[in-house]
Amino acid sequence: MKVIVGLGNPGPRYRNTRHNVGFEVVDRVAQQLGVAFSREKYKALVAKADCSGQPVLLVKPLTFMNNSGISVARVARYRVHDLQSVLVIVDDVNLPLGKLRIRSVGSAGGHRGLQSIIERLGTEAFPRLRMGVGAVATAALVDHVLGRFAPEERPAVDAMVGRAADAAVRFVTEGIAVAMNEFN
């Protein structure tokens, strides 16, 4: 089974914020696969799907961003035999708006959600898809990532979410190497 985890913060207050692009991607994948998040399990909203004959679990942690590792570790403990079958999708302020970067392993890069996952799993060896949400201009980092996209940014964000969803599906069907070659 493959697992796609989109990081974000739960609740309407955080909907459409920069920090929640991971949630947007797994929502898009769920829509493409014709499933809905209908269960709460592993301290997350989950949806089971079939993607070209490959079982996949879509996950949206409910632990808030900085504690994402709690949920991801529970999913890993009960559903995963190999961490290379887990793709974590996360925002990245160090990438320009719209840019995707997929890696099979890597550091947290200052992202507290990834850091929480690394600490709980005890390793950096899991795939991640970073999504550029733009650098901090004048706002503080927290205000920036918890802020919503400007109306003129939304078309680029929507296109990025679509490409990221396609990359996640490619990860499920063909593996991390193919996804990296096609979407990096």
Range of the domain at 35: 2-183
Residues contacting 7, CB < 8 A, separation 6+: 19, 22, 23, 61, 65, 68, 88, 89, 90, 91, 113, 114
> Residue 49's pLDDT is what?
96
> Residue 133's pLDDT is what?
92
Q: Is 70 exceeded by the pLDDT of residue 74?
A: yes
Q: Are 97 and 157 in contact (CB under 8 A)?
A: yes
Annotated active-site residue 19? The verdict is yes
pLDDT band at 56 (very low <50, low <70, confident <90, very high): very high
Q: Is 60 exceeded by the pLDDT of residue 138?
A: no
Give the count of domains, the chain: 1
Q: Which residue has the tokens 């600490």?
A: 119
> Residue 170's pLDDT is what?
98
Work out the average pLDDT over 11-34. 95
How far is residue 13 from each of residues 16, 19, 148, measured CA to CA in Å? 9, 12, 10
Q: Are 74 and 43 in contact (CB under 8 A)?
A: yes
- Considering the candidates 19, 81, 111, 144, report the single residue annotated as catalytic: 19
E-strand stretches of 20-176: 39-41, 44-51, 54-61, 86-92, 100-103, 128-132
pLDDT band at 144 (very low <50, low <70, confident <90, very high): low
Amino acid identity, position 8 = G
| 88-119 pLDDT tens trace | 999 998 899 999 999 999 999 989 999 999 99
Q: Is 80 exceeded by the pLDDT of residue 39?
A: no
Q: Which is it for strands 44-51 and 100-103: parallel, antiparallel or unpaired?
A: unpaired
> Residue 148's pLDDT is what?
82
Instruction: Using a pLDDT cut of 70, give the percent of the chain over it.
Output: 96
- Report the CATH number at residue 138: 3.40.50.1470
User: What do you get for the CA distance between the two ends of the chain, in Å?
Assistant: 24
- How many Å apart are CA 43 and CA 71, to the nearest integer? 5
> Residue 137's pLDDT is what?
57
